[in-house]
Amino acid sequence: MNKLNFTPFATLCLGVTVFATGVTFIHKLNIKKPADLREYFSYSIDRIPLISTHRGGGYDAGFVENNLWENAVQGYIASITFADAQIGRLLDALDNSKYKQNTIIVLFGDHGWNLGEKEHWRKFALWEETTHVPFIISAPGMVKPNSVCDRTVNLMDIYPTLIEMCSFPVKKGMEAVSIFPLLKNPKLEWNHPSVSTWGRNNHSVRTERWRYIRYSDGGEELYDHNIDPHEWKNLASDPKLADIKKQLAAWMPRVNAENAPSENRDGNDGE
């Protein structure tokens, strides 16, 4: 925040991070406990591929068996409330600086978070809760304030978008696309599903209506967000939806890089 008042900068780029907001299950803020969570217990993990149930890090059993689920969710809500307040402090400092009218702001989270849905905690999954992130772009004179876009976009799109917004030379060979057209017209027709990857050969494709997940062992999940926004009912085995799966599968990556070397490949390799 102090840098915003430092005069000599002709061009200023700040990358600001709030760390580990998802794993702070102990808190001191006065946050009410969440509403009844019993509906999440009613979901049977028998409906989803086995490979997708191995990534919770043992959190679910620990929280449920020790009757700490509500406390953990309460702590999570408190931690993101604290993070939100820190972002507010930074934006207040920007509003009070000379950079207010000529600064592009990109606010995003690096991943979503499961809080016990499908007996899963933390990230390490390809469902809606873990892949859907906060994503806000503000640019004075370029983006209409308070506009909302329902199109599917991806964090990889940030780079080409900023290149276009800043009128920099376009870099060839990028797999992402600029979403600047959507910033100017949020209702623009858009045919770019969001593809997410967790581990080699495990991918999800998300359109405005569908999420299709395919795992390295051939397991599949398909959810219709028009009628199932929480992704409770896996439709992948429905033969009537074979064409839908084929259309979505066409967006799956054709090149899959090897896993990066790591001493810990059990799905608990940091937050």
Residue bearing the bigger pLDDT, 192 or 58: 192
Q: How confident is the model at residue 269 (pLDDT cuts 50, 70, 90)?
A: very low
Confidence of residue 9 (pLDDT cuts 50, 70, 90): low
pLDDT at 75: 80
The pLDDT assigned to 111 comes to: 85
Contact of 220 with 212, CB cutoff 8 Å: yes
For the stretch 206-239, pLDDT in tens is 999 999 999 988 999 999 999 999 898 999 999 9
User: How many helices (H) does the chain have, and how many strands (E)?
Assistant: 6, 8
Distance CA 180, CA 171 (A): 16
pLDDT at 102: 86
- For the record, the structure tokens of 238 come out as 């429905």
- Range name among 65-79, 104-118, 132-146, 230-244 with the lowest pLDDT average: 65-79
Q: What average pLDDT score do residues 89-95 get?
A: 90
What's the predicted TM-score (pTM) here?
0.82
- The answer to whether 211 and 225 have CB atoms below 8 angstroms apart is yes
Range with lowest mean pLDDT among 33-42, 93-102, 195-204 = 33-42
pLDDT above 70 (res 3): no
> How does DSSP classify residue 54?
S
Catalogue all structural domains in the chain, each as residue range(s) with its CATH number. Answer: 16-99+113-133 (no CATH), 193-253 (3.30.1120.10)
User: Model confidence at 177, in pLDDT bands (50, 70, 90)?
Assistant: very high
Higher pLDDT, 43 or 69: 69
- Is the pLDDT confidence value at 45 over 70? no
pLDDT higher than 60, residue 13: yes
1 — pLDDT class (breaks 50, 70, 90):
low
> From CA 45, how far away is CA 118, in angstroms rounded?
6
Q: 84 and 18 in contact (C-beta within 8 Å)?
A: no
